[in-house]
Structure 1
Amino acid sequence: MTPLLRRWAVITCSLLASLIAPSAWSKDCAPPFTLPTEAALTAVAQQAQDRGFLWKISKQDSTSYLYGTMHLGRLDWWAPGPRVTAALESSRVLALEMDLSDNATATKLTQGMRAKENDPRLPSELAARLRQQAEAECLDWQPLQNLRPEFQLSTVLVMSARRQQLEAAYGAETMLTALARRQGKPIHALETVDEQLHALQASDAAELKEMIESSLKDMEAGKGQEILVKLATAWAARDATALQSYDQWCDCMESEAERAMSRRLLDDRNQVLAGRINALHSASGPVFVAVGALHMFGPSGLPALMKALGYTVETVF
């Protein structure tokens, strides 16, 4: 699966690579991403464990699966465990939030992250603090300044996660995409690029300011990395309790801007996702649905919504 991992690594890491400052490696920087060898991937596959969260959803004499993923990961987590492998093999279609292995999707997403003339702007003090955080992670601010502030922030956070050995190239979707391609399964995007960009963007200048200010406060205190690591390790350990109580320990629901962002990212999207999963299940037969694990928990989580749509829902792990 190395060629497919290479392609995904190029897509997910090319932006970061273009943003690393020319003098970066003379600083205290995270090491650059390097592709694993075939031998390393084989060793990981031999020790593969089931990670994340998996449900069966059954309706009309057909069984599909919901799999809660993590978008960042480690090499040791990358290979699928036996129950994930079996569930994907028994499905006809892999459904993802978006298929970033598709050239058109990747290009449109990259273009959509760029700032436009009428986009809300940050106050100069916040912009300076955001730039300081970027440069602390060895990112070149010149190309980064062309992005909307929300995506400047997320790029810095992804870069900082590399200090904890968390890589976008090892996210669960990369593994699933590689397996689906190898098995000849079609990959279906549950959302358009425009829909996901809309969910990720602040609705106005006031919300943008509040969201960036709160996030920078956490980053400057080192809490951003701590939360990412706790979330990722809970996913790897299949710790459902930690995911169910995420809003109680993430410190990410304290402001109205943060609560509004959470509603857009999870609750609002889940309603749309559930309807599209239902339609895909009916039209294409068994589907393996893989979306971020935080979409799976609580009364507005996908298992609960699919049950409300008449599915029999069973926890696998």
Structure 2
Amino acid sequence: MIAPVISCIGIVSALLASSAHTHPHPLKTPAISRVKKISPVKISGKKTVKPQKATVASKKKTLPEPANNNIPENTPAAATSSMVVDAHPALWMIHKNNTTIYLFGTIHMLDPRYSWFKNHVRDAFEQSSELVIETKAPPADQVQAIVSELATDKSGLPLEKRLPPALNRRVQAELAHFHIAKNSMDRFSPWFVAVTLTLLHYQKSGIKTMAGVEPVLIAQAQSEAKNIGELEDFKQQLSFLSNLSSADQISFLQSSLEEDEQSSFIIRLLIKAWAGGDEDRLANIVNQNLSQIPHLQTILLENRNRRWADWIENRLKTPGTVFMAVGAGHLGGAHSLRKILAERQIYAVRIAN
């Protein structure tokens, strides 16, 4: 279950940052910078016109694709070029009058060999004056304060007293596997333990956090002095998991540990679907896994998609071009962002690769 959460839903940026500041095995995180917060919006009730064309005009200006700095250090230089995997993720366009919103599905942890920031994706990005992402981690001191508030268990009981015996034994075995002290997770809630252990499994398997889509987009937007907006703040995103009931958090931890042995396989299935632009297949994997905890599916996918549809509907009232990047898991399935928009007669048209 946790693989779709980590790979396709934007809370990963918050979770990675929190892990980096609270765990004895720091995980690499994107560079931190200030981001403009977008105010909540209301549904306008107005309709938009379905666009007639779905193309991105190429610019004469050609910028180099960001260097891939995440290839394993022991890889011979001559072999790095042969490791590159050509990716063609899906890109959608929403257009009304003088407003264009490019809707791009991201994946937050990625095999660093994938080459994706080019062609129609890069053209759309270059045409946009604003980048909008799900969230961005605040400065480190704020991260630590928020994590202390939301990831710390308030009961005062050690972790082993809060978990079923069999689950606790599994957690202790995982901690030993990563050479982590037995009591290092005692003060944390089960959801945070689940995320930390799973991220360590991904790191061990070679899946890189900095190879994800958002760090590339953010760095490029900063270099071009584009406005960067976020749809949700750090605390709000962590709250999606911290507000789960104790029973749901234990189920979340249980399923993540059962999945960890296959986590690399699952996330690579997701990456393959994303790289091929197959968002329906990717969404099926995400929804199938999240359905194990219905509350989590509602909180992470359905409710957020409706709020983001509100934001898009409101943003279409203001002229301009926006590159909106959200987890690809939000763009397919029965409760997808695109389907909600279509119900409001706002149509996202796919741009051919």
TM-score, with structure 2 as normaliser: 0.69
Overall identity of the aligned pairs, in %? 22
Does the 8 Å contact 1:99/1:105 carry over to 2? no
Which one of the candidate residues 193, 196, 212 is aligned to 1:171? Answer: 212
| C-alpha distance after superposition, 1:192-246 (max 9, x if no partner) | 2232122223521222222322332233xx2333222211222123233421421
Residue in 2 that maps onto 1:314: 349
Residue in 1 that maps onto 2:111: 74
| C-alpha distance after superposition, 1:71-126 (max 9, x if no partner) | 10122226612211111111121111102376677556544553141599732522
Residues 208 and 190 of structure 1: CA distance in aligned 2, closer, same or farther (over 3 Å): same
Which one of the candidate residues 266, 269, 273 is aligned to 1:230? Answer: 269
Residues 165 and 83 of structure 1: CA distance in aligned 2, closer, same or farther (over 3 Å): same
Residue in 2 that maps onto 1:293: 328
Residue in 1 that maps onto 2:196: 155
Give the C-alpha shift of residue 296 in structure 1.
0.5
1:90 matched to 2:127? The reply is: yes
Give the C-alpha shift of residue 273 in structure 1.
1.6
Q: Distance in 2 between matches of 1:299 and 1:237?
A: 21
Three-state SS of the structure 2 residue aligned to 1:66 is strand
Does the 8 Å contact 2:89/2:116 carry over to 1? no
* Higher percent of residues as helix: 1
Which one of the candidate residues 145, 151, 156 is aligned to 1:114? Answer: 151
Three-state SS of the structure 2 residue aligned to 1:129 is helix
Three-state SS of the structure 1 residue aligned to 2:110 is coil
Residue in 2 that maps onto 1:282: 317
Give the C-alpha shift of residue 189 in structure 1.
0.8
User: Which deviates more, 227-236 or 175-184?
Assistant: 227-236
Does the 8 Å contact 1:98/1:191 carry over to 2? yes
Give the letter for the 2:128 counterpart: S
Q: Distance in 2 between matches of 1:164 and 1:202?
A: 30
Residue in 1 that maps onto 2:233: 192
Q: Distance in 1 between matches of 2:225 and 2:328?
A: 25
1:123 matched to 2:163? The reply is: yes
Residue in 2 that maps onto 1:242: 281
Three-state SS of the structure 2 residue aligned to 1:290 is strand
Give the letter for the 2:274 counterpart: W
Q: Distance in 1 between matches of 2:226 and 2:18?
A: 25
1:99 matched to 2:139? The reply is: no
Q: Distance in 2 between matches of 1:60 and 1:268?
A: 28
Residue in 2 that maps onto 1:136: 177
Does the 8 Å contact 1:50/1:83 carry over to 2? no
Three-state SS of the structure 1 residue aligned to 2:114 is helix
1:19 matched to 2:24? The reply is: yes
Does the 8 Å contact 1:54/1:68 carry over to 2? yes
Residues 112 and 166 of structure 1: CA distance in aligned 2, closer, same or farther (over 3 Å): farther
Q: How many pairs does the alignment contain?
A: 287
| C-alpha distance after superposition, 1:30-85 (max 9, x if no partner) | xxx8898xxx8xx87xx784543211011233211111111101222266122111
Give the C-alpha shift of residue 190 in structure 1.
0.2
> Over aligned residues, Cα RMSD in angstroms?
3.5
Give the C-alpha shift of residue 176 in structure 1.
0.6
Q: Comparing both chains, which one has the higher relative contact order based on Cα–Cα distances under 8 Å and sequence gaps of 6 or more?
A: 2
User: Which deviates more, 135-144 or 51-60?
Assistant: 135-144
Give the C-alpha shift of residue 309 in structure 1.
3.3
Q: Distance in 1 between matches of 2:259 and 2:336?
A: 26
Residues 138 and 233 of structure 1: CA distance in aligned 2, closer, same or farther (over 3 Å): farther
Residues 69 and 139 of structure 1: CA distance in aligned 2, closer, same or farther (over 3 Å): farther
Residue in 1 that maps onto 2:95: 58
